[in-house]
Structure 1
Amino acid sequence: MKKLFIALGVIVVLLVLAMFIGPSLIPVETYKTEILAQVKQATGREARIDGDFKLSILPSVKFVAGKVSFANAPGGKAAQMVTLDRLTVKVALFPLIGGNIEIDAFVLQKPVINLEVDASGKPNWQFGATATKSDSGAGKKSAASSDSGGSGLEGLKLGDVRLVDGLVSYRDARGGDAQRISGINLTLSLPSLDSPMKADGSLVWNKEKIALVLGLSNPNAFLAGKKTNIDARIEAAPVKFTFKGSAAQAGKIKAGGDLDLDVPSIRKLASWVGAKLDAPGSGYGPLKIAGKVDVNGNRFAFRDAKLSVDAITGAGEVAFDGGGRKPVITGKLTLGMLDVNPYLPPEAKAAAPQAASKPVGGTATDGKPPEASDWSDDPIDLSGFRAADAQFDLSVAGILVRKIKIGAANLKVSLKDGVLVTDLTRMALYGGTGKARLMANGAARISQIALNFDLANFQARPFMGDAMDFDQIEGAANADMSITTHGRSQRDLVSGLGGAGKVKFLN
């Protein structure tokens, strides 16, 4: 037994001597060559270190490399997939021997990452090397042990972790899509997995600087599927988003807390993200939303919400379910005064008054559709209605359309398989009541629109004055109308107008 302990002692001494004396006897270039060879063996691509290269063991394991590059996939547009001016890695030695990872420094200076997808759909981050069956089995075993025994990062500690002035580009050869994110700066602090983590950074996208902040009170608890406090903030000139609550990673993300969204201009935000909003009118300005959000995988619920869009204010709840064949959105909102005029195009110029050829009667007569010379030929595409299903219940204090004033009203909005149906189930209108139904069919090859309304016991003079600038009628009236049209443009819709209606005066 004594001889065994002596033998073990000799082995340990030799290992220690090899660890500390070896680097001074073996040329650094040998390590460099071996590292690059291992990268090629693992990925099938060339890596280069054309700048300085340093490797030391004491007092910590330190690796420094300058002018590093990693080749792109064959046929890629960029010559290199990754380049960086300098890489610095510093790891505490003795904790590493004990199985713990304490990263004193991990700094990437001016990294450039070129992500590409070729014409066949293969991304350049998919490498040629494939795992063997034994590798795959080992991976499954490792994953199983990880699931049963924690994250495997229990001893991880991060000191000076930074990404300095990075750039990421993305290009898809199939559709020509391209994105570029520059000025990427990130600082990460993590004293231990049981200590608060903070990530603080910024980047530039579409000429706007975006500030990013993420705080996690206990990363270890989060990875173990336990709730932990989270604080996130994204801020740029077109949008500001904050979330403060709790989250857990338990196979799927679960989170809940307070959310706040502030958009100074919906139009500017849409333009920034590449979806320019050409809707008519002067609306789509400021948007503010605040409330409590619950996330469970691909299901989202937003409750106790308060919102404002331009001058419109409201409160309610919204839910989103992305787990089915297509997203389903449901909600219930209560709005104040709904002035839709900022969202309407300018009114067409009224035609010069003509002498009446027939006396005004109690019922409407058929006539020719309006002239279509001033209407747009721009395509109207309602196929976007097929992207999701939705069901909304809306209550509004009042509605203003042009000069028409509608009192308190209830609306039910349904979007199902590309067909939008809006039912105005109750409304107060100039002393009377009314109902209306609007259908817009985006499932058909050509857009179809139908409108029906029924008004009862309303005061004709103020209504006709606001609706048609006509005030030569007195008394109460009933009215109903049915209008249909179809077409691919505004001109088509006007030309295709058809329907009937009647007005009955009660006194």
Structure 2
Amino acid sequence: MKKLLYILLGLVLLVVVAIGAIVAFINPNDFKPLITDEVKKATGRELVIDGDISWRFWPSLGLSVEQLAFQNPEGFAEPDMLKLSKAELSVAVMPLLSDTLDIGLVSLHGAHVFIQTLPNGVSNLDGLTGETGAESTTAGEAEPALESSAPASEPATAWTISIGGLELLDASATVRDDKAHTNSEISKLNLTIGKLETGVWVPIEFDVEGKQNALMFSAKGDAEAMIDKEIMMSQLRTLSLEASANDAATQLETFTLKADRLGLAIPMVFDFAAKGKASDMSFDATGKTTVEVDEAITLITAKALELNTTVAGKSLPRPEMKISMAGDVAFDNKAQKLSLENLKAAVDELNLDGKASVALADIPAIRFDVHSPKINLDTFPGGNTAAAEDKPAASGGSQGGAAEKPADKKPLSDVEPDLSALKGLDIAGKITIDDFVASNVQVTDVIANFAVNRGKVDVKQFDAKLYDGTINVEGKLDATTSPARYQVKKDIKNVNVLPLMQAAANQDMLAGIGSIDANVSGVGLSEKRLRTGITGTVAINFADGAINGINIPEMIREAKATLKGQRAEYVEETRKTDFSALTATFNLGKGIASTRNMKMEAPALRVRSEGQTNLVKEDLDFEVFVSVVGTSKGQGGKDIDELKDVTIPVKIGGTWTAPSYNLDVKSLLTSNKVLEEKARKEAERGLKKLLGDKAEDDKVKEAADKLLKGLFN
């Protein structure tokens, strides 16, 4: 036993003496030229060691190096690509005898990395080839193999390597790209990693401060890492991260992230939260999801994603709004496609569900199929300002007399809208809305199917129910030309017009069941070009309705009284003309909407009209011809029977907002022979009473005849 003890003591003494001899007789600084020469050969760059290289004896054999710099070529903003204030490394001696390299704590103090790309695209990372021009082999020439008669050596024994830990203290880095005009800096980085062994959970702690261009950021966190023999199967667990960032427009006050695991082919549960301010809007968001990445990193899924955000700001429709989203997200790395299934989103009381996808390309292809049970835009401030501010409109304009002078209106703008953004879109999808309200108008069962492809818009389907009727629209817009071109086909059937007009414009001028068939096209989308550049036809068909603001039977009574030289008795009546049918076809072109076949069938009346309206000036120029048919039933009664088969002309003038209606007495008399003859006889009888015996004089008769002709022609 004593012999064994003596042997061990001798071995220890031998090791101590050997280490002492190394320290006493070998100066590591003598190796500086060798080290710098080898680095020069390997990289083509200079390695400068201004400080000492010294042995470290306790607690293990090691070296420390001070003031080390790996230099940049000429022409870069900083002389060094890598600088170190101090580096320390230790190696356990005894494990070397059993093919084990046991490296202790690797400690780097004051490390600084500088990476720069010049405006011409040259980087200080270029040229690290390990060859010089004189030593490199000519391209295309193979280096001759060395022949040897020595027997093949035995395979080398595999060494086991372990590192006791890594420590970065006060590290920094700069990545500057003068070509892209970007600059990223890490001003402070502290990183501590425990003993690096495979199959063992190792603690990690870090904190970092820096900036990305004008964005300042800081972060700190901790986790545990397990290194696998297959490095891609390594994992992190219990990750906890806190960060903040700010620039002139954005302040991220806090961002927190927690994950139970990070790794391939395992479910990873994330919880995150963010609070801050962007421009004049503040936000407070929380969320969670379970992420999984397959081993080949071809499919990334985020299941049960939940995001809840509260935003506030003056630019929002409401002072504070709540936004939420939930669904399952998947990204196919091979197909470069992002899919969103089981989508549920909400903005306050507005709800949305469905699915969507994005295929990444030069222009991302977005596809969607979404549904909403109810959208009421009027519940947001400003959603129905026009209807709220409008005063109740009078029923029609003035019946007789001149039109009211309209308020001064701004000239129509001829500035085309900027549609350039449409050229960068590839969107197609379907939207269904059960109940939609905008500007006080309610539409139900909305189905919209449309596509936007590089500046061309195709509304393939827009179907909806509108006040007991239906609406169907198809249209195209080509924004690849300037000004843009469009085509629209619209089919509106059996709509209850009165509640629609009351809801949309607070007007009650027209009532009935209406249908409209429009087929129009045009060039230009400015206010002015929409009116001057539109061409096509609009056919209307109204049944069982009324025109409010004009009472045609009352006008007939006025005409009757006029024929008798009397004034019509005033009767308190509603200014309304009932009708059983009202049809017309308007032709659009050159800023004019004209018709020659407007017809109306009413009790005891038949009305036809022709004329036009200027879409820019908004004036009216229509002639309405009212014919009395042989019945005393219905509106008008017996008072108009006396005018059976008589046509009464009415001129409609004024403007859209202030129309006027006037009885054309001269046309009334000249276009109806019976009335003209009666009027002549009444006029002759009046002249005889006025002139007495002189009325039979030839000259007086001639003068009276000229007077009557002038009256009726």
* Fold match (TM-score > 0.5): yes
Q: Which amino acid aligns with 1:260?
A: E
Alignment correspondent of 2:492:
455
Q: Does 1:330 align with 2:367?
A: yes
1:313 correspondence with 2:319? no
Partner of 2:339: 301
The answer to whether the aligner puts 1:173 opposite 2:179 as a matched pair is: yes
Confirm or deny that 1:290 pairs with 2:336. no
The CA distance in 2 between the partners of 1:157 and 1:384, in whole Å, is 55
Partners of 2:42 and 2:302 in 1: CA distance? 41
- Counting matched residue pairs gives 447
Q: Deviations over 1:191-218 (max 9, x none)?
A: 4436644544435253425636464747
Q: How far 1:182 moved relative to its partner?
A: 3.2
Distance 1:28 1:428, change over 3 A: farther
Q: Structure 1 residues 471, 495: closer, same or farther in 2, change over 3 A?
A: closer
- Residue 255 of structure 2 aligns with which residue? 211
Structure with bigger RCO (C-alpha 8 Å, 6+ apart): 1
Q: Go from structure 1 to structure 2 and tell me whether the alpha carbon gap of 1:32 and 1:242 turns closer, same or farther (over 3 Å shift).
A: farther
Q: Give the counterpart of 1:250 among 277, 296, 299.
A: 296
Instruction: Give the whole-Å Cα distance in 2 for the aligned partners of 1:469 and 1:38.
Output: 89
Query: How many Å separate the matches in 1 of 2:417 and 2:21?
Result: 76
The amino acid that maps onto 1:120 is N
Asked whether the 8 Å contact 1:426–1:434 carries over to 2, the reply is yes
Give the counterpart of 2:266 among 228, 236, 252: 228
Counterpart amino acid of 1:304?
N
The answer on whether the counterparts of 2:513 and 2:542 sit within 8 Å (CA) in structure 1 is yes
Q: Return 5+ residue gaps in structure 1 as ranges.
A: 1-12, 135-153, 269-277, 360-369
CA–CA distance in 2 between the matches of 1:260 and 1:24?
Answer: 67
**Counterpart pick for 2:421 among 352, 364, 384:** 384
CA distance in structure 1 between the aligned counterparts of 2:84 and 2:522, rounded to whole angstroms:
60
Larger radius of gyration: 2
Give 1:42-441 correspondences, 5 Å limit: 56=56, 59=59, 75-76=75-76, 116-122=116-122, 124=123, 126-130=125-129, 171-174=177-180, 179=213, 180-193=215-228, 196-201=236-241, 202-206=243-247, 207-209=251-253, 211=255, 213=257, 215=259, 217=261, 219=263, 222=264, 227-232=265-270, 235-237=273-275, 238=283, 240=286, 242-250=288-296, 252-265=298-311, 286-297=322-333, 298-322=336-360, 324=361, 326-340=363-377, 373=411, 380-437=417-474, 439-441=476-478
Does structure 1 conserve the Cα–Cα contact (< 8 Å) formed by 2:289 and 2:302?
no
Q: Which runs of 5+ in 2 are unaligned?
A: 1-12, 138-159, 184-211, 229-233, 276-282, 400-407, 545-713
d(CA) in 2 for partners of 1:91, 1:357 = 102
Partner of 1:363: none
Deviation at 1:490, TM superposition (A): 6.0
Q: Could you tell me whether the CA contact under 8 Å between 2:464 and 2:471 is conserved in 1?
A: yes
Instruction: Return the letter of the residue paired with 1:119.
Output: P
Aligned to 2:503: 466
1:24-53 CA distances to partner (integer Å, 9 max, x unpaired)? 765565677777776666555566678898
* Counterpart residue identity of residue 217, structure 2: S
Q: Deviations over 1:48-101 (max 9, x none)?
A: 678898774765687777787666675455666667877777888888986789
In structure 1, the residue matched to 2:154 is none
Moved more, 343-352 or 390-399: 343-352
Structure-2 separation of matches of 1:162 and 1:112 = 11
3-state SS of the aligned residue for 2:128?
Answer: coil
Q: Is the 8 A contact 2:294 2:300 kept in 1?
A: yes
For 2:528 and 2:41, the matched residues in 1 are separated by: 63
Q: Which AA in structure 1 matches 2:466?
A: L
- Kindly tell me: are residues 408 and 160 of structure 1, through their superposed partners in 2, closer, same or farther at Cα, counting changes over 3 Å? farther
Q: Indicate the percent of aligned positions where both proteins have the same amino acid.
A: 15
- Structure 1 stretch displaced more, 245-254 or 27-36: 27-36
**Deviation at residue 343 of structure 1 after TM alignment:** 10
Name the SS for the 2:374 alignment partner: strand
One-letter amino acid of the counterpart of residue 504, structure 2 = A
Kindly tell me: are residues 344 and 159 of structure 1, through their superposed partners in 2, closer, same or farther at Cα, counting changes over 3 Å? farther
SS state at 1:407 partner: strand
- Secondary structure of the residue that 2:504 maps to in structure 1? helix
Given that residues 155 and 192 in structure 1 are in contact (C-alpha distance below 8 angstroms), is that contact kept between their aligned partners in structure 2? no
- The letter for the 1-side match of 2:127 is G
Tell me the distance in 2 between the aligned counterparts of 1:67 and 1:468: 81
Task: Give the whole-Å Cα distance in 1 for the aligned partners of 2:521 and 2:61.
Answer: 77
Work out the CA distance in 1 between the residues paired with 2:477 and 2:91: 63
Cα RMSD (Å): 5.3
TM-score by length of 1: 0.66
